[in-house]
């Protein structure tokens, strides 16, 4: 187990003075069987919204323009916001609703999220990796997990890396953690296994305090009568000889923020659905607004 205090600081960029209101969404860390969350601080007026169709919840704030002497508008008040939590993270061993809140609609996790023109290629590769298809779900998932490790390589500088786009991963054979997780999820679904995409941040090992790095993503698949089983193929690919360590169990080394892809927030954003999210998002007039965020953690003693 690991107990941390997390401070999530968000600063909005300069809004268009001629534009409309600015909306900010900040995901509330998931509170589930493996992650207990206590909200310690939040901006005035920010209350958790949701859940959305995946069970995610969001803090939402709206900044309204105010008339100025000039024809343009100004945005009074702060554009820096702080959210602080106490989070107890427990290792995941699978089962029940592990790794996320119960979704509103479980059918969300049964169909691959790829364009129609990629369905045949996805199914061909899934059959090649797990020919038995609907046999033992553990064996099928492990075959698909191993296939992802064989097919993919870490790649940070290619166009689209980190987009959680399975079609791109099928073509590029490289990417970041979201691409590994998305590929596993859609391969599993094509073999009849419900599977979910999870996003959050990794807690550094051996460091009691510091700033969290870039967003991370992993996955889980469902076994009837048992529950959801976690996998982290990207961590496995970066840990030669330790593939077993990231299949079916996860240490208390992460904070889970959201489940699912193609996200509509609460309240729903004006712009298009978001491919995935593990941090804050802001928009003005339907377009994403630049922001910066820092997530700083400190370990606390377990009582």
Write down the pLDDT at residue 275. 95
Write down the pLDDT at residue 70. 44
Write down the pLDDT at residue 79. 86
Write down the pLDDT at residue 71. 44
Average pLDDT over residues 88-110: 73
Average pLDDT over residues 19-46: 93
Percent share of the chain, pLDDT over 70: 92
Write down the pLDDT at residue 69. 42
134 band by pLDDT with thresholds 50, 70 and 90: low
Flag whether pLDDT at 186 surpasses 60. Answer: yes
226 band by pLDDT with thresholds 50, 70 and 90: confident
Question: For 100, left (φ over 0), alpha (ψ -120 to 50), or beta?
Answer: left
More confident residue, 217 or 225: 217
Distance from C-alpha of 254 to C-alpha of 267, rounded to nearest angstrom: 27
Write down the pLDDT at residue 18. 83
CB neighbour class for 234 (10 Å; exposed up to 12, middle 13-18, buried from 19): buried
8 band by pLDDT with thresholds 50, 70 and 90: very high
More confident residue, 30 or 104: 30
Flag whether pLDDT at 103 surpasses 70. Answer: no
Q: In whole numbers, what is the pLDDT of the chain averaged over residues? A: 89
Write down the pLDDT at residue 197. 97
Flag whether pLDDT at 48 surpasses 80. Answer: yes
Mean pLDDT is highest, among 45-49, 82-86, 122-126, for: 82-86
pLDDT tens-digit series, residues 228-277: 999 999 999 988 888 889 999 999 999 999 999 999 998 999 999 999 99
């Amino acid at each position: 187990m690991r107990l941390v205090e997390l401070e999530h600081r968000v600063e909005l960029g300069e809004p268009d003075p001629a534009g409309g209101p600015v909306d900010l969404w900040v995901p509330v860390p998931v509170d589930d069987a493996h992650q207990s969350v206590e909200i310690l601080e939040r901006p005035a007026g920010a209350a958790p919204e949701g859940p959305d169709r995946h069970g995610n919840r969001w803090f939402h704030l709206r900044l309204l323009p105010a008339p100025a002497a000039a024809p343009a508008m100004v945005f009074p008040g702060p554009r820096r916001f702080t959210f602080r939590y106490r989070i107890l993270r427990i290792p995941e061993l699978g089962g029940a609703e592990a790794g996320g809140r119960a979704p509103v609609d479980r059918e969300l996790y049964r169909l691959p999220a790829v364009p129609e023109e990629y369905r045949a290629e996805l199914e061909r590769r899934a059959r090649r990796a797990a020919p038995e298809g609907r046999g033992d779900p553990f064996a099928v998932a492990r075959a698909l997990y191993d296939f992802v490790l064989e097919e993919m390589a870490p790649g940070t500088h290619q166009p689209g890396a980190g987009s959680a786009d399975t079609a791109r991963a099928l073509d590029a054979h490289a990417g970041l953690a979201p691409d590994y997780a998305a590929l596993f999820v859609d391969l599993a679904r094509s073999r009849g296994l419900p599977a979910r995409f999870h996003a959050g941040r990794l807690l550094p090992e051996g460091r009691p305090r510091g700033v969290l790095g870039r967003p991370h993503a992993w996955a889980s698949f469902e076994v009837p009568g048992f529950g959801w089983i976690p996998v982290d193929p990207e961590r496995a690919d970066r840990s030669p000889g330790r593939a077993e360590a990231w299949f079916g169990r996860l240490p208390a080394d992460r904070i889970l923020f959201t489940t699912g892809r193609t996200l509509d927030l609460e309240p729903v954003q004006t712009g298009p659905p978001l491919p995935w999210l593990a941090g804050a998002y802001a928009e003005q007039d339907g377009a994403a607004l630049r922001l910066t965020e820092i997530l700083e953690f400190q370990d606390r003693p377990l009582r």
